[in-house]
Every structure is written in C-alpha cells, then in structure tokens.
Copies of this chain bind each other. A is one copy, B any other.
Amino acid sequence: MNSYLKMNKSELEKEFESVKSEYETHKAKGLKLDMSRGKPCKDNVMLSKNMLDVTDGANGFLNEDGVDCLNYGGIEGIKEMRALFAVILGMPASQVIIGGNSSLNLMFDAVSQGMTHGFGDKPWYETKNRKFLCPVPGYDRHFAVTEYFGFELIPIEMNENGPDMDKVERLVKDESVKGIWCVPKYSNPEGVTYSDEVVKRFATLKPAAKDFKIFWDNAYCVHDLYGDGDKLLNLYEECIKSGNEDLPIIFASTSKITFPGAGVSAMAASEKVLNMLKCRIKYQTVGPDKLNMLLHARFLHNKKEVTEHMKKHAELIRPKFESVISSFESELTPAGIAHWTNPKGGYFISLYVLDGCAKRTCELCKEAGVVLTGAGATYPYGKDEKDSNLRIAPTYPSLEELKKATEVLCTAVKYAALEKLLNN
C-alpha cells in the first residue's frame, strides 16, 4: 500500500473499492464494541477486590486516630488517606482533604463555589463575560462543567510540552479569565506530561484576575504504563517559590487505582484556598464516607504499595495500548493519512485523521458497531474546527475485542480519507 496522498484518482478509486469491501465485511459481523470512555475493564477493577474483605478486627471501624469511620463527622477525611495523597501529590498532609467517589464532583463544586462565593474577590457570577481556558484536545467533562456555569471556553492548543504557554500568559491579562483546566500528567487525551518549563511558567503566571485558579487535575499521577514513567514537576512547590501558592487547586482520585465508581477523591491547595473550600464543605455535608476511606487506607497502605498495585494495572493495560499502536502502524502509517500519540501512561491515545474526516470516521465506526468518543468531544462546545481528532480509549474492551474494534477503526479511517480525497 502506498500513501493515499500520492495516489492518482484511479488508484484512489481502486483502493476505495477494496476498503469498502473490507468495511462491509466488518459491518456484517454485527459487532457491539465500546471504546468511548476511559473506563477500566473488569480485570483492572478486580485487582482491588480484596479491599472488600471487610473485617472490624482489632481496631473495629476506627481509624488510626480512633475516629469511628461508620459514624458522622470529619469533613477533611481520615488521616491515613490524607497522608497517602499528600505523598502522591507532594503536598503537606494538612493541605489535603479527601472526598467522595468523584474528583469531578470536587472540581464541579469548586467552580460552583467560585460562582456564588468567589475565591477572595467578588463571586464569578458577577463577571458576566467570564472565561475559562481549555487546553485542546482535552477532557470533555472539564469543559462541560465551565460551560454549564456560563463561562466562555477559550481553546489553548496543546504541544508536546503541554499547553501553549505564550497564549496562556497573554490571555490571563484579561481580568475576566478566571481559570484553566489542566491534566498535567498523561493528559487526556494527548498523553502529554507537562514539561518542567511549562510547570514553571504556570507557577509564575501573573493573572489579572486576583481569583484566577489553575484546576490541576492530576488524574493519572501514578498511572504509568512503563517503569517509573514520566516525571511531573511539583507545581505547588514552584508556586511557593514565586509567591503564587494560592493559584492551584490540585485534584486526584483512586478511580483508576481501585474502583471507578467507588473510589475516593482528593483535593489539595494552599492553606488559604483550602480554608475557603472547607468553609463551603462544612455547610454541604456532615462528613464524607469515611468507611470507604478506611477500606482504601487498609488496602493501599502507602505510596510504595500503590506503585506495586499500579504495576499490575499496567500489565493489563499496556498490551492494549501496544495493540492499538501496532495496528495503527501497520494499517495507517503506509497510507499516510493519520498520526497519533504514543503515551507512556494514562488512559488515552489521541488519533488525528485527515482534516474533515473525524466525524465521518466516527460515524462509520458506529454503523459497524464500534462506539468511539464522539468526534469533537475533546474540544469546547464539541467543536473541533479541523474535524480531525479522535480520542481512543483502549482500556475497557478485552484485548480480543479491542483488536476487532481497532481493525474496524483503521478501515473507517481509510474509508473516510478516500471519500474526502475522491471528492476533492
């Protein structure tokens, strides 16, 4: 096979006939495969099953502080989990609080707090033309939260070092820009870990808005696929150096360490910012689910054991990433119609097809029974102006299903490219 871009019309037509027939064969199989969300598969989830061997043993349901984890209270979460996330995130334990099963919920609530109470300045609600920066391609659920709260979403292009910091530094001079969404390690969906320089430039940002916040969603902080993985510079420490410690709110969770639907979340910030956040939480709840925290503490113990546990996850996930990349290399490289990321961790591969072909590729996949994340979903308002990016989530299907799904995907990428080239 030669590059499609070098073929003449008759060669393209011939190739299209062959790809069409390939596609019809896939379609005839009546597949029903889902690659749409970054969801751990059952084997990943079952790695933590022992956590549920609940015994009240010597300490009953008391944690190491003697707090009864079945009863009310304790809005900051239990000591053990605060200590564990402190090590994982490189924060003082007193500046970490543990939440319920969803870090997205913590982020949503933090934006909600900005809206009604602000972060030391007037409530964001009062800024009618409020804006939020959105590195693209990025996480659709992040963008959706700020869209829900009426922010104008401004895309910031990603490169191999992270977001385009020139643009970020320029835009934060506008007082109506209130924050930025970041997934700094193995970013969703690019798999990029922000470079030291990018982290330092975040730490030295001088936003016009006094209440500007970096939403630092370190969702994949321990989610390496190979050995020790990428190293992310500690944003908070850098912020202290530049007197900017109130800038970031840092998030993480065990969703992809233990149970996606029944893990625990964590949030960290400067003392001042954390006090603002706690001031909301104390009205919101009598306390989070400490039993689940206790189970997590007794199962995960410490950073070293978390690392060992994550190696088992990697063993299940790595072959899936490698299978997709390998199919892309054999099926798409020769045709010269796509490129993709090859991340060393996280949950996604970012696939770029010919401009104008992402939606059509997605549609063709769907017709053949393979559900992808909707084209455009990785951009604010679902609008990928180039219509080129597709987020591939290889973790949920079994390896065998994944192989079938990737075959369909590769055929669809070629199909859409040929349609475009033949219609030009």
CA distance A105 to B112 in the complex (A): 14
A163 to B413, CA, bound (A): 66
A13-21, A37-45, A182-190, A225-233: which one contacts chain B? A37-45
- Known A-B contacts A285-B104, A290-B261; the reply to A71 vs B45 at CB < 8 A is yes
Q: How far is the CA of A288 from the CA of B288 in the complex (A)?
A: 13
- Shortest distance from the beta carbon of A57 to any chain B beta carbon, whole Å: 12
Chain B contacts of A56 at CB under 8 A? 49
Cross-chain contact A261 with B148 (CB below 8 angstroms) = no
Given contacts A116-B115, A125-B125, contact A289 B286 (CB under 8 A): no
List residues of chain B with CB within 8 A of the CB of A283.
108, 141, 144-145, 148
Asked if A52 contacts B54 (CB within 8 A), the reply is yes
Residues of A29-77 contacting chain B, CB below 8 A: 37, 39-40, 42, 45, 49, 52-54, 56, 68-74
Measured between C-beta atoms, what is the minimum distance from A109 to chain B in Å?
Answer: 8
Does chain B have a CB within 8 A of A262? yes
Determine whether A100 belongs to the interface, using a CB cutoff of 8 Å to chain B.
yes
By DSSP majority rule, is chain A's interface helix, strand, loop, or mixed? loop
Interface residues on A, range: 35 or more
A100 to B144 CA separation, bound complex (whole angstroms):
22
Chain A, range 277-304, C-beta contacts under 8 Å to B: 280, 283-292
Kindly identify, within residues 252 to 276 of chain A, every residue whose CB is under 8 Å from any CB belonging to chain B: 255, 259-262
Query: Which residues on B sit within 8 Å (CB–CB) of A361?
Result: none
> Does chain B have a CB within 8 A of A149?
yes
Task: Let me know if A101 is at the binding interface, CB within 8 A.
Answer: yes
In the assembled complex, the Cα of A40 lies from the Cα of B284 at a distance in Å of 20
Cβ of A102 < 8 Å from any Cβ of B?
Answer: yes
The reply to whether B285 and A105 form a contact with Cβ atoms under 8 Å apart is yes
Docked CA distance A116–B289 (Å): 27
Q: How many angstroms from the CA of A101 to the CA of B292 in the assembled complex?
A: 11
Q: Of B45, B70, B73, B100, which one neighbours A289 at CB under 8 angstroms?
A: B100
CB contacts (< 8 Å) of A148 on chain B: these are 280, 283
Task: Tell me, rounded to whole Å, the shortest Cβ–Cβ distance linking A124 to chain B.
Answer: 10
Instruction: Say how many copies of this protein the assembly contains.
Output: 2
* CA gap between A53 and B72 in the complex, in Å: 21
Complex CA gap A370/B149 in Å reads 46
Chain B contacts of A71 at CB under 8 A? 39-40, 42, 45, 259-261
Q: Do B262 and A70 have beta carbons less than 8 Å apart?
A: yes
Q: Is the CB of A285 within 8 A of B102?
A: yes
CB of A103 to closest CB in B, whole Å:
9
Given A42-B68, A285-B104; A116-B259 close (CB under 8 Å): no
Residue from A115, A125, A260, A286 whose CB has the most chain B CB atoms within 10 Å: A286
- Residues in B neighbouring A261, C-beta threshold 8 A: 68-74, 286-291
Given known contacts A116-B115, A116-B116, is B42 in contact with A101 (CB within 8 Å)? no
Min C-beta distance of A334 to chain B, whole Å = 37
Q: State the CA gap A118–B241 with chains docked (Å).
A: 42
Q: B145–A101 contact, CB under 8 A? A: no
Contacting residues, chain B, for A292 (C-beta < 8 A): 262, 289, 292
- Given A69-B262, A116-B112, do A284 and B104 touch, yes or no (CB 8 Å)? yes
Contacts of A72 in B (CB 8 A): 37, 39, 255, 260-261
The answer to whether B49 and A104 touch across the interface, beta carbons within 8 angstroms, is no
Chain B hits for A45, CB < 8 A: 68, 70-71
- CB–CB A288/B40 < 8 A: no
- Chain B residues contacting A115 (CB-CB under 8 Å) are 115-116
- Nearest 5 A/B pairs, CB to CB: A262-B291, A52-B54, A102-B285, A101-B289, A108-B284
**17 A-B residue pairings within 8 Å (CB atoms):** A70-B260, A71-B260, A71-B261, A72-B260, A101-B285, A101-B288, A102-B285, A102-B288, A108-B283, A108-B284, A112-B116, A115-B115, A260-B286, A261-B290, A261-B291, A262-B289, A292-B292
